Chain A
């Protein structure tokens, strides 16, 4: 049984056919990397999984997206319930203009948790899991904007972890960070794999090769190749995949 499964998904932005007949399966506790040149549809596909595309006007979706074997686009699905299960980390760190503590507690508070001890425990645990606890434990009441970019991104990861999702979507989480912070995030992804199913969009080939178990290569809205990461990077089946990962275009 797959954790995430999409069956013949088509997505249109108005007249633009952005995703063409995508079928993908992801197992629980794996890291799947989505790669491809800009505008290939990989971010769109990622945002399909927590229905972030709903925010855009004129979007039409065909096909099925199953999470835990349930169609998330079926009628009667509560989007906020879905998003609690499918956490997301964005390209740019986007902490709220609140304290570090409140940033992490936000997801719990909007979900109706009011038990102070529980919130405190979750905040601590999430910051520890995001490998940020040691750096911020003395300044939890300080504004999140006082942190560095890398720390802010790990705070955003902690924020996503606080509501205990089972899936974590990451949209180029390290693209705005320096190499050192990037290394920390990658290390984190590796550790988080034990508990979460992770889908990561990245432009960075080495990153995909380092962190992921499976890799999907998108090109012009089509899924060109989906295979074990090792296979994709050492022995791609498709010429276009070969060209892309060797840097001939992109």
Chain B
């Protein structure tokens, strides 16, 4: 009886472990599938609103425009058709509201019954016109021609320099400023955190008295447990005003502030992993170096660091991974301007901050919503690459040790 009970109990535990393992795996896979299915829907869609079209004069040579060009035209930054491949003629903007500049309300008619004819005439009469018109006001014998708008492509999305996902009449979704903003902030965070982290790791592993180390290590590990919003708060109250006054800037919310806060956040990862790697350097290696008359520092720089370099690299890459994915603190201190960064003392916007800030404003299934999911996919791929790199490096390390 006891035997049977114990057998059943063991079976039960096995099945429980099996179920929990498979459920977790399935959930992870489902999340990834969901992310990519939502994100991939963006490509091949037109960046305009449903129901409206762009119309130009028949004589216009331009056949199609991309979202970025249309945005610049409607912002008045492109004023000549020559810039977008047409003939030398200035661009005249026409929106539905502008019809009253050309026709009286009587001419249009009480129920807009003459509107299609009017629009047709306006478009026909001006060679330089570009008209944003609702589809239902296009006459059957429309005198102009419809301008084709380029669909969103992967290249446009990845290398487009403008991020205006809610712009009218077309949404412009170029993620390059966000990608660069993310890398910009992360790279400087690492440049700042790696020397500091490495120095701390060396100090803790090789120089510090055991008592000091026993105090320092838990304190540094505690750093990893502080919620990121608290770091953001610290950045906003301390780092941002400091940068503003030191560099005499109009605003202190800059990439630099983000880098500093992210650097501090990446420190515990870098320190703990590098310190562990440094401590795995065999005692015999250190003794061999010292016995040859090397000083402690020569031993550290010529033997210990080279020996633990793969561990240190792994720590640095994981630190970068943390920096790339960090959302809240960055959102709070970087100023969130979606422009391609040229200096550190300039607001930038990172991918995670964009998703967090904008997702609340989107309609589910809309273009903007899908664009944010695509950004999520990109972020996922970046961190995946980072983790694979760490895996690769630590595998290499095991081979060296074996």
Contacts and interface: CB of A to CB of B under 8 A. Distances in A.
B292 A83 contact: yes
B291 A88 contact: yes
Q: Which of A57, A84, A110, A111: most chain B Cβ within 10 A?
A: A110
Contacts of A88: 287, 291
B284 A90 contact: yes
B307 A160 contact: no
Contact of B290 (A55, A111, A159): A55
Contact of A107 (B287, B292, B306, B307): B292
Given A80-B294, A80-B295, A83-B293, A96 B288 contact: yes
Given A106-B289, A107-B294, A111-B293, 19 more contacts: A52-B287, A52-B291, A55-B286, A80-B293, A80-B295, A83-B290, A90-B284, A94-B282, A94-B287, A96-B288, A106-B292, A106-B294, A106-B302, A109-B302, A110-B292, A110-B298, A110-B302, A159-B288, A160-B291
Interface in B271-295: 282, 284-295
B355 interface: no
B91 interface: no
B400 interface: yes
Interface residues of A, number: 26
Nearest to A106: B292
Closest 10 pairs (CB-CB, A-B): A84-B293, A107-B292, A94-B284, A110-B294, A88-B291, A83-B293, A110-B298, A80-B293, A94-B288, A80-B295
Nearest to B298: A110
Interface string A30-63: 0000000000000000000010100101000000
Interface string A160-181: 1001000000000000000000
Contacts of A193: none
Contacts of B210: 57
A110 B289 contact: yes
Contacts, number: 66
Contacts of B293: 80-81, 83-84, 107, 110-111, 163
A52 B287 CA distance: 8
Interface of A: 50, 52, 55, 57, 80-81, 83-84, 87-88, 90, 92, 94-98, 106-107, 109-111, 156, 159-160, 163
Interface of B: 210, 282, 284-295, 298, 302-303, 306-307, 400
20 contacts: A52-B287, A80-B295, A81-B293, A83-B290, A84-B293, A87-B292, A88-B287, A90-B284, A90-B287, A94-B282, A98-B306, A106-B294, A109-B302, A110-B289, A110-B295, A110-B298, A156-B288, A159-B292, A160-B291, A163-B292
Nearest to B299: A110
A79 to B, nearest CB: 8
Contacts of A107: 292-294
A207 B338 CA distance: 76
A55 B294 contact: no
Nearest to A92: B284
A96 B285 contact: yes
B401 to A, nearest CB: 9
A109 B298 CA distance: 10
A171 to B, nearest CB: 10
Contacts of A52: 287, 290-291
A94 B285 contact: yes
Nearest to A169: B291
Contacts of B287: 52, 55, 88, 90, 94
Contacts of A92: 284
Q: Which of B282, B289, B291 has the most CB of A within 10 A?
A: B291
B114 to A, nearest CB: 86
A160 B290 contact: no
A54 to B, nearest CB: 9
A106 B288 CA distance: 10
A88 B289 CA distance: 10
A129 to B, nearest CB: 16
Nearest to A50: B291
A134 to B, nearest CB: 24
Interface centre among A80, A159, A163 (most CB of B within 10 A): A80
B312 to A, nearest CB: 14
Q: Which of B289, B290, B306 has the most CB of A within 10 A?
A: B290
Contacts of A163: 292-293
Contacts of B292: 83-84, 87, 106-107, 110, 159-160, 163
A47 to B, nearest CB: 9
Contacts of B295: 80, 110
